[in-house]
Structure 1
Amino acid sequence: MTFLRALWDILHVAWFANPIYCYNRFVVFKILNSTNFSLVYRYIYDERVRKIGTVIYLHNVIRDKIMSKKSTPEYVKEIRRNQYSMDGNIEKIFLECEITSYPINVFQIARKLEFDIIYGKFKQDNVYGVMWDGDEPLNVGGKQMYRAILLNKQDSLERQAFTVAHEIGHFMLHCKDNTNFYERYHGGAEQTDSQKLIEDQADFFAANLLLPKKLMKAYISQHSNLSRSDLISKTCKDFLVEKDTVVRRFEELGYE
């Protein structure tokens, strides 16, 4: 992206130096798909190419590419570089997104990350949601979105919250600035070993986000007079999390 910005600045000057309408898109295609930067610069300064207006078209394409790509916050880049533990990841997110109490508002976190959240009905019953992050728009109902989470409107609030947390997990752990990321989150589908690995990682991240260790330990200690079954029921209600997730999280924290 830094290279594109520098290239755009050069083309911005060229635009005003020679405002000619571009019609030779084949040359532009060669430029945009070249990994040889010296070749790109040679095309830009080639007088024959400049005369047919390729500079102007390339200027527009790169400008649109720069302006449309959603930026990635610095703390997300730090998480992607594995600078923190899982607990550290969660604390960093809470700090940046101003999360101070439960239930954890994952919708607020998603919006802070510039996700559009859309509700709809999927053709397949077992689809919980879809996530997209890219430099090209995802078109849903005529609305173009570069970073979006689509939720199943028929799911419960608890299920929707876990889906959002799951997709935030993918965004934190698996997305890259220079790569488009698309995921359809559903249950019961066959998965390869690599697919299962990243889905398990996103699920684990979601459970930690919704039921963070530090908060959970204090909560469990505060309600130590309750039986395990009553504590699970109360946790589901207070944190707005499904029972299966709470039970699994209790086991992970050693409260069996």
Structure 2
Amino acid sequence: MNRKIALITGTSRGLGKNAALHLVAQGIDIIGTYNSRADEAQALVAEIESLGGRAVMLQLDVARSDNFSAFGNEVAKVLQSYFDRERFDFLVNNAGIGLHANFVDTTVEQFDLLVNIHLKGPFFLTQTLLPLLNDGGRIVNISSGLARFSLPGHSAYAAMKGAMEVLTRYQAKELGARNIAVNILAPGAIETDFGDGAVRDNAAVNQMVTSNTALGRTGLPDDIGAAIAMLLSPGSQWINGQRIEASGGMFL
């Protein structure tokens, strides 16, 4: 039996890398993307292969939707040449950046960058890849706890994530005819290099998160990688069109 294949954007580091390793542990092979860190992407390929999985990393700037058609062609070629397949099974729209700016200080350029990466990118990349996604497949989009609670400096970023939550419901409704389930995972504050590593490296930020989280700690990459893997596991096949927050109970 062919192993299932997950395509994850932003796989060379952080939550994308962690999700890939959790999925490989479940017997799922990986097509990953990176923007500029080819060395880290190839190091992940070697790690996945050492675990008995298979992986290919492709360069993609999710802010450049004009390149998505060419990227789709590249994915099709990789599926045929490396995996001997025509389609993949799971899509995880993970790639993103953090940008801290108060509402009154946010520039048009900053806003447009966040739109291109966090909303326009996953909207049109998913559209491009749908012909290569198996019927009965699944899509996981990524939101943020900041779409539920408000912290100054994140208005534009959180607005994009709120839009992705609405988009997820529409995708679930419209793709149901192909038996494709679509959900969105909203991480809380996680110790990674995202947003210049503020949660991981700034003791005051770390303590603020810890003191406002029911489980009494900040999140770790494993918390999110495991949650993504859970949403793509057989036991989650009836979950569809849902926002699922993985924040340890932050700001309850």
The TM tier, using the shorter chain, reads under 0.3
User: What is the TM-score with the length of structure 2 in the denominator?
Assistant: 0.23
TM-score under structure 1 length normalisation: 0.22
Bigger Cα Rg: 1
